[in-house]
Amino acid sequence: MAYGAARFVESSLRALDGDGDVYECTFVQSDLTELPFFASRVKIGKNGVEAIISSDLQGLSENTMNFMQLGKYEWDLWEIF
The pLDDT, as a whole number, for residue 81 is 67
Q: What is the pTM of this model?
A: 0.74
Question: Which of the pair, 14 or 74, is modelled with greater confidence?
Answer: 14
pLDDT tens per residue, range 23-69: 999 999 988 888 888 889 999 999 999 999 987 778 888 898 888 88
The pLDDT, as a whole number, for residue 10 is 97
How many angstroms separate the CA atoms of 12 and 54, rounded?
20
The pLDDT, as a whole number, for residue 28 is 92
Terminal CA-CA length for the chain: 30
The pLDDT, as a whole number, for residue 58 is 80
Task: Name the CATH topology of 2-80.
Answer: L-2-Hydroxyisocaproate Dehydrogenase; Chain A, domain 2 (3.90.110)
